[in-house]
Structure 1
Amino acid sequence: MALFNFRLQKLLDIRTEKEEESKRNFKEAQGQKDKVENSLNNMKQNYSRYNSVTVKEDVVQQKIRRNYLYALNTSIDEKTIELNKKIIVLDKKREELKEKQIDRKTVEILKDKKKIEFLDIEKHVEQVQNDEFALYGYIRNREGR
């Protein structure tokens, strides 16, 4: 029985490699987005914690608190913009990954079809050989009588 040799195996290997690289890029972009998202959530928690005004504070402490809240609010706005950019990058990486998976699967499906075709041909050749052996055996038995 002959061995199956897929002529586009190198192409399949290259596309698989590109898909793996795209997966790594996607995971990296996901990690960066998660990091920015966590930072933004921490800032929002700090803002909500220090947003309440207490009666016990004097004017200086209230002014310091107000300045801190203003700076925190500005940072929250900047982080929100950064998060939106990271989400856009993540979506772009996701689309690239889908594209790479489609490319790989296209060649993989082609390989599967070629392998099935190869196996069908092998089965046919084997069946023809078995039929010939059976015919030779039948003829030999008929002549021997």
Structure 2
Amino acid sequence: MKKFKFKLEKLLDINIKEEDESKLKYTKAQDEKRIVERNLNRLEENYKKYSDITRAGDVISQKITINYLSTLTQSIKLTDEKLKEEEKKVIEAQNDLIEKQIKRKSLEILKEKEMEKVRKEEERIEQIRNDEFALYAYIRNNVNVS
């Protein structure tokens, strides 16, 4: 079989490269989301830890605890908003990755079909040659018999 050359090979290579870049973006987005989730969990744990104001003995300690809880509440809200943004980024990156995978797969399927078409054509040509050789052998044998 002669060397098969796919006309859209460069485009396929570009799509593979874009898909790899998209995978990296998706992984990075997931990592950033996990970091924000861990931060949010840590803030919520701190809030639960200090939410019992009665543990603070004197009034000054209670005021400090109340201020700290207020700050934690604000931080939790901001971190929760950031988490939602990161989730959107993850979804966008995932959709982009899926789109790039579909493009790559489509080109690979085209390449496989074209390879199969070329292979079948070569098999057909080889079969025609074999038939000709068989015909020549038959004619040669029948001429010698006569």
Superposition misfits of 4+ residues, deviation over 6 angstroms: none
Q: Is the 8 A contact 2:19 2:97 kept in 1?
A: yes
Q: Please list, as runs of the form range in 1=range in 2, the aligned pairs for 1:40-51 lying within 5 A after superposition.
A: 40-51=40-51
Q: What does residue 5 of structure 1 align with?
A: 5
Do structure 1's residue 107 and structure 2's residue 107 form an aligned pair? yes
Q: What does residue 68 of structure 2 align with?
A: 68
Q: What does residue 131 of structure 1 align with?
A: 131
72-81 or 49-58, larger mean C-alpha shift? 49-58
AA aligned opposite 2:15:
R
Deviation at 1:16, TM superposition (A): 0.6
Higher relative contact order (CA 8 A, sep 6+): 1
Q: What does residue 35 of structure 2 align with?
A: 35
CA RMSD of aligned residues (A): 1.2
| 1:87–1:12 CA distance, 2 compared to 1 (3 A) | same
Kindly tell me the number of residue pairs found equivalent between the two proteins: 145
Please give the secondary structure, in 2, of the residue aligned with 1:7. coil
- Segments of structure 1 that go 5 or more residues without pairing to the other structure are none
Question: Quick one: percent identity of the two aligned structures?
Answer: 43
| 1:37–1:26 CA distance, 2 compared to 1 (3 A) | same
Q: Distance in 2 between matches of 1:55 and 1:76?
A: 22
Q: Distance in 1 between matches of 2:29 and 2:140?
A: 74
AA aligned opposite 1:72:
L
Deviation at 1:80, TM superposition (A): 0.3
AA aligned opposite 2:106:
T
- Segments of structure 2 that go 5 or more residues without pairing to the other structure are none
| 1:112–1:56 CA distance, 2 compared to 1 (3 A) | closer
